[in-house]
């Protein structure tokens, strides 16, 4: 439900495009019924919700309508990068934004510096929710001075590693999740385990899907990522970023990559056909894998992430742009879409890890096993990951920086450049990010 | 151009005015206004729309290109030609220019030759003629998104049909997306798929206007089909060829959807910018909200198109075969 996918796309290209096009022209529709001033019970209101994938919100809209019979809710979806670029344009030009907008962790720092463009949700009584939340997740949704509440969190992305038991068996590797976790205490050990897997020569299978997602996970686990706390871009000088890059490059050179860009149509095919044995799994990705490759049920399992936990990948906030005419209803909807019951339900339905720590000890979650992943205790695995999670400051152009490194790794993968050449070009490209 | 024909009509009043009265005068005036002014009124909607949606954006883009203009900022600093200076020393801009020209040549040249040949084949008595002609147009009415999505699958590295067919001949799988030449070929094929039939229909329409006696005479003289195509058809439809060459050139210079979707939304046109066209380069900077720079690129592209279309016009005009 929350994923940073640099330069990638959901399988339903055509549908997404169609949605994207409608999204451009539907701005005016939110203004209907605003003429009467104070909200009458009978006044018809239309709320639009803009998302970048299926958040499994549909039943919740029905629930909202029970208490708000006058409200009609329209959801629209666009491809991940387009969704966020669209929002930027819509805020700049003053038209077209939805009443409720989803903003992912890689982009949240682009929007919180613009407190004038969003409703302060404190004004609608949502400040009371602070006690529920993980402190860092709450703070990500605040304006720079902390005085305004601009977004409320949905999920966070604690990390694990998903793997194919059938392919592990063929390669003579252990299949039990505890033993598999022992295989890779560090990313270096993961690289070595991959060499064993490749040496076993399982037909048509590589070690992982593509290097970009592993690179991101390694960076996410470091105390500082692409930006320091002052929003200065330090990606080119941060030794942890270079280490992540070098490790990813070594994985490519060991022929461990299936060279599939995450969330592309070939990636979907690869998931179904078993083109790779492991894949980095933020909690929400367990949902993506299930949606993209339903026929592989029972072939997967979930182990601990290399590098000793920590690290957050993705996670979303819901925000209410000031272009919306019905802030009260929008805030109430956001409240419903992020409350405890909802987050509990979305974990079991869509693998979205709650951002409300009280739920980490809820038996529904801790006792949750995922039948798709060979009954792996994903509830326990991901809540453990969430508890160990050390959040990292996300800078304003983190999405563009990630795309730059993703391209750099692909150049190595496609044999166009050596790791050194590719790193040098990435540094030059970083200078273009203003 | 539009005013020429009515001007000739305007000089002949229906009757010479014998005894001009005020009423007749007025009617005469209305009549004169009608013939003199109304043609302008008829063409006005186009020119008004053109000014609003063609000329004004063109001029405004030029104005924006002279500024350091970021969408989210309210301050737009005038920087003169700085954007253009930066552009001329920008490797990625020249890379995009090269890609555009390469894809343009790879798609346009075979496309037009194929279109002429197809039109020639259809320009003879055939059964189910209409069916063939409609079929030609079908790829063009298909959505470009659908075309690119399907072709991207055909050109897939692991499970693509083209690699599968090549494997029959012992060719190892090609990563079409990765290479410069291979990606250009793949994109050109998509463009050709969409536009060959359309251009063939235009050629066919022109060919039907060529007098049949010329072919009959040539047949009696023993000229083969190919000779007739070269010596009669092509010289006779030259104005149409010029038109199609110019529109195709302009279209090829503006290619956006094919590389964007082929790269699965990679706005850099592949990790190494191996198939980033000029339009995609503009799009990249527009999405980065750097409107000043993007506008400067837009103007450079406009100039390129004018120059290249001009060169093509001169070349096609010079290649006058003539009926001799």
Residue B111 has pLDDT above 90, yes or no: yes
Cβ of A13 within 8 Å of Cβ of B149? The answer is yes
Domains held by chain B: number? 2
> Would the pLDDT of A8 be above 50?
no
Q: Is the per-residue pLDDT at A89 higher than 70?
A: yes
For residues B156 and B206, membership in a common domain is answered with yes
Average pLDDT estimate for A239-265: 94
Mean per-residue pLDDT, A121-144: 93
From B57's Cα to the closest Cα of chain A, the distance in A is: 17
Percent pLDDT > 90 in chain B is: 60
Q: In A, which residues are within 8 Å of B71 by CB distance?
A: 88-89, 92-93
Whether residues B30 and B138 share a domain: the answer is no
> Using CA atoms, how far apart are residues B77 and B260, in angstroms rounded to an integer?
31
User: What whole-number distance in Å separates Cα of residue A371 and Cα of residue A378?
Assistant: 10
What are the residues whose beta carbons fall under 8 Å from the beta carbon of B39, sequence distance 6 or more? B2, B3, B6
B212/B188 Cα distance (integer angstroms): 35
Q: How confident is the model at residue A388 (pLDDT cuts 50, 70, 90)?
A: confident
Domain A13-156+314-365 fold: D-Maltodextrin-Binding Protein; domain 2 (3.40.190)
**What does the pLDDT average to over B3-9?**
44
| Minimal C-alpha gap between A28 and chain B (Å) | 21
Strands A206-208 and A276-282: parallel
Residue B145 · residue B261 · CB < 8 Å: yes
Touching A: B residues 128-147, CB under 8 Å: 143, 145-146
Residue of B177, B264, B270, B290 to mutate when probing chain A, most A C-beta within 10 A: B264
Domain regions of chain A by residue span: 13-156+314-365, 157-313+368-431
The whole domain housing B196 covers 82-318
State yes or no: pLDDT of B239 exceeds 80: yes
Same domain, B41 and B92: no
Amino acid B21: pLDDT: 67
Residues in A closer than 8 angstroms to B272, CB to CB, are: 407, 410-411, 414, 416-417
Mean pLDDT of B308-324: 73
Q: Do B159 and A14 touch (CB under 8 A)?
A: no
CA distances B287 to A86, A195, A426, B268, B291, Å, are: 9, 40, 20, 11, 9
Distance from C-alpha of A37 to C-alpha of B119, rounded to nearest angstrom: 65
Q: Are residues B194 and B271 in the same domain?
A: yes
Lowest mean pLDDT among A321-335, B12-26, B27-41, B86-100: B12-26
Q: Does residue B57 sit within a domain? A: no
Taking the CA of residue A235 and the nearest CA in chain B, the distance in Å comes to 19
Query: Does residue B65 fall inside a structural domain?
Result: no
CB proximity under 8 Å: B 197-236 to A = none
Give B19's pLDDT tier (boundaries 50, 70, 90). Answer: low
Whether residue A407 and residue B268 make contact (CB cut-off 8 A), yes or no, is: yes
Q: Are residues B150 and B236 in the same domain?
A: yes
pLDDT beyond 80 at A73: yes
* Subunit contact A275:B158, Cβ cutoff 8 A: yes
CB-CB under 8 Å, B159 with A410: no
| Residue A25 DSSP SS3 | helix
pLDDT at residue number A329: 94
Instruction: Report yes or no on B64 lying in a domain.
Output: no
- For the residues A275-292, what does the mean pLDDT come to? 92
pLDDT at A346: 92
Residues B200 and B303 in one domain: yes
Q: Do A266 and B158 touch (CB under 8 A)?
A: yes
For residue A117, give the chain B residue with the closest CA: B72
**Second CATH level (architecture) for the domain A157-313+368-431:** 3-Layer(aba) Sandwich (3.40)
What DSSP element (H or E) covers B77?
strand B77-78
The SS3 call for residue A234 is: coil
Residue B124 has pLDDT above 90, yes or no: no
Q: Best residue in A411, A415, A426 to probe B by mutation, most B CBs within 10 Å? A: A411
Distance between CA atoms of residues A201 and B249, nearest Å: 50
Nearest Cα neighbor of B288 from B76, B58, B73, B59 is: B73
Q: Read off the pLDDT of residues B41-72 as tens digits, 9 standing for 90 and up.
A: 899 999 999 999 999 999 999 999 999 988 87
* pLDDT score of B20 more than 80: no
- Residue B2's pLDDT is 41
Verify that B278 and B156 share a domain, yes or no: yes
pLDDT tens digit sequence for A176-212: 999 999 999 999 999 999 999 999 999 999 999 999 9
Give, in degrees to the nearest 5, the angle at Cα B266 between B262 and B270: 75
Is residue B158, in this structure, part of any structural domain at all? yes
Examine the predicted complex and report whether its ipTM is higher than 0.95: no
Residues B137-168 pLDDT 10s: 899 999 999 999 999 999 998 889 999 999 99
pLDDT of residue B15 exceeding 90, the answer is: no
Q: Which of B52, B59, B48, B47 is nearest to B298 (CA)?
A: B59
DSSP state of A233: B
Whether B31 has its CB under 8 Å from any CB of chain A: the answer is no
Residues of chain A found within 8 Å of residue B159, distances taken between Cβ atoms? 266, 269, 273
* Residue B232, in any domain of the structure: yes
Q: What is the pLDDT of residue B309?
A: 87
Q: Which two tokens stand for residue B241?
A: 């060829």
In-domain check, residue B62: no
Does B68 map to a domain? no
- By Cβ distance, the residue of A7, A92, A114 closest to B265 is A7
pLDDT value for A385: 86
Task: State the pLDDT confidence band at A289, using cuts at 50, 70 and 90.
Answer: very high
């Amino acid at each position: 439900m929350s994923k940073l996918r640099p330069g990638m796309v959901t399988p339903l290209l055509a549908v997404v495009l169609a949605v994207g096009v409608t999204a451009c022209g539907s701005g005016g529709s939110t203004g209907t019924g605003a003429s009467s001033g104070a909200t009458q019970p009978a006044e018809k209101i239309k709320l639009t919700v803009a998302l970048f994938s299926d958040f499994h919100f549909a039943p919740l809209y029905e629930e909202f309508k029970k208490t708000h019979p006058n409200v009609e809710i329209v959801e629209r979806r666009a491809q991940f990068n387009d969704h966020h670029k669209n929002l930027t344009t819509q805020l700049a030009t003053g038209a077209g934004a939805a009443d409720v907008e989803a903003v992912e962790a890689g982009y949240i720092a682009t929007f919180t510096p613009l407190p004038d463009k969003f409703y302060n949700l404190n004004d609608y009584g949502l400040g009371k929710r602070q006690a529920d939340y993980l402190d860092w997740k709450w703070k990500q949704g605040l304006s720079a001075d902390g005085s305004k509440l601009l977004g409320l969190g949905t999920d966070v992305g604690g990390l694990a590693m998903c793997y194919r038991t059938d392919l592990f068996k063929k390669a003579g590797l252990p299949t039990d999740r505890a033993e598999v976790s022992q295989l890779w205490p560090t990313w270096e050990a993961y690289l070595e385990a991959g060499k064993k897997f490749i040496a076993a020569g399982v037909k048509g299978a590589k070690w992982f899907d593509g290097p970009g997602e592993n690179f991101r996970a390694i960076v996410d686990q470091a105390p500082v990522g692409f930006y320091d706390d002052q929003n200065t871009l330090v990606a080119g000088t941060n030794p942890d970023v270079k280490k992540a890059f070098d490790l990813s490059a070594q994985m490519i050179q060991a022929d461990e990559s299936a060279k599939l860009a995450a969330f592309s149509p070939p990636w979907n095919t690869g998931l179904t056909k078993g083109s790779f044995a492991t894949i980095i799994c933020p909690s929400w990705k367990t949902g993506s894998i299930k949606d993209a490759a339903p026929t592989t049920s029972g072939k997967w399992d979930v182990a601990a992430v290399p590098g000793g936990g920590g690290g957050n990948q993705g996670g979303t906030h819901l925000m209410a742009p000031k272009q919306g005419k019905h802030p009260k209803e929008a805030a109430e909807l956001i409240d419903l879409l992020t409350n405890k019951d909802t987050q509990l339900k979305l974990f079991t339905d869509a693998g979205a890890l709650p951002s409300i720590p009280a739920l980490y000890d809820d038996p529904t979650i801790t006792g949750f096993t995922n039948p798709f992943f060979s009954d792996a205790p994903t509830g326990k695995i991901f809540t453990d990951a969430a508890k160990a999670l050390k959040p990292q400051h996300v800078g304003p152009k983190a999405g563009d920086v990630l795309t730059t490194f993703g391209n750099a790794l692909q150049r190595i993968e496609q044999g166009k450049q050596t790791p050194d050449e590719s790193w040098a070009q990435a540094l030059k490209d970083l200078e273009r990010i203003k | 151009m539009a005013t020429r024909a009515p001007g000739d009509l305007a000089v002949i009043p229906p009757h010479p005015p014998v005894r001009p009265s005020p009423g007749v005068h007025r009617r005469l005036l209305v009549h004169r206004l009608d013939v003199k002014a109304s043609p302008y009124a008829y063409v006005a909607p186009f020119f008004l729309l053109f000014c609003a949606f063609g000329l004004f954006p063109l001029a405004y883009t030029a104005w924006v290109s002279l500024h350091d203009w970021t969408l989210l900022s309210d301050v737009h600093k005038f920087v003169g030609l700085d954007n253009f200076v930066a552009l001329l020393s920008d490797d990625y801009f020249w890379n995009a220019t090269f890609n555009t020209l390469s894809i343009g040549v790879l798609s346009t040249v075979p496309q037009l030759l194929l279109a002429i040949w197809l039109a020639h084949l259809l320009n003879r008595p055939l059964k189910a003629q209409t069916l063939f002609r409609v079929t030609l147009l079908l790829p063009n009415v298909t959505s470009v998104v659908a075309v690119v999505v399907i072709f991207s699958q055909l050109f897939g590295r692991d499970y693509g049909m083209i690699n599968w067919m090549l494997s029959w001949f012992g060719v190892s799988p090609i990563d079409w997306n990765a290479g410069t030449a291979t990606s250009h070929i793949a994109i050109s094929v998509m463009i050709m798929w969409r536009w060959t039939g359309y251009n063939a229909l235009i050629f066919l329409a022109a060919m039907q206007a060529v007098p049949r006696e010329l072919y009959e005479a040539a047949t009696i003289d023993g000229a083969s089909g190919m000779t007739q195509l070269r010596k009669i058809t092509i010289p006779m439809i030259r104005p149409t060829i010029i038109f199609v060459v110019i529109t195709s050139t302009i279209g090829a210079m503006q290619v956006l959807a094919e590389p964007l979707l082929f790269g699965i939304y990679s706005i850099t046109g592949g990790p190494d910018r191996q198939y980033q066209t000029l339009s995609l380069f503009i799009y990249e900077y527009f999405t980065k909200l750097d409107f000043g720079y993007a506008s400067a690129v837009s103007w450079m592209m406009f100039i390129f198109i004018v120059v290249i279309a001009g060169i093509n016009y001169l070349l096609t005009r010079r290649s006058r075969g003539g009926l001799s």
